[in-house]
Amino acid sequence: MSDQHFHVHGAHEHEVEHQAHSGAGLAQYVAMFTAVLSTVGAVVSYQGGSTQNEAMLYKNEAVLKKTQASNQWNYYQAKSSKGHLMSVAVDMVPPDRKEFYKKQIEKYEQEKKEIKASAEALEEESKIANEHSEHLLHPHHKLAQAMTLIQIAISLASITVLTRKRWLFAGAGIAAAGGVVLWALAWLA
């Protein structure tokens, strides 16, 4: 009968044709929304991991510099002890040997000045590296919160498809907007 342009449609075919002509449905909107959020989530997740790794590198640098400074202070203390021993020796040795010990005391005092300067410089480097680490962790917390809201939005969108409750999709939109705002705030502060 198709020769005379007469064709009977089944219920399923009719529904498919109706959906095709009626435009995008809720499921299509949710699918697009979820795809966009997944992409944004991947970027946010990458940035969060990157900032955390950088912060850890600076924190490690701070610990290393602090250890080096501690070593320098220990070296300073050793030179101080030697200087004190030389002072005691000056009082105990014959007069012809006193000059040698006085020169040793001067030598240790000069070395202590250099060691002290090195230790203080290392402590300053440690402080700066620690501050960089803290600065990098600030956006990391906001990025983690943004990612949580994006994941909530994706979950709500998925539940929307199952339940066909549009208010859940609105909740997903609000959660997604909150995630995007936190993502932006992470880089503005």
* Domain parsing of the chain, residue ranges: 26-188
pLDDT at residue 14, rounded to an integer: 53
- Three-state SS sequence of 91-157: HHCCHHHHHHHHHHHHHHHHHHHHHHHHHHHHHHHHHHHHHHHHHHHHHHHHHHHHHHHHHHHHHHH
User: Is residue 124 predicted with pLDDT exceeding 80?
Assistant: yes
Q: How confident is the model at residue 5 (pLDDT cuts 50, 70, 90)?
A: low
pLDDT in tens, 146-167: 999 999 999 999 898 888 888 9
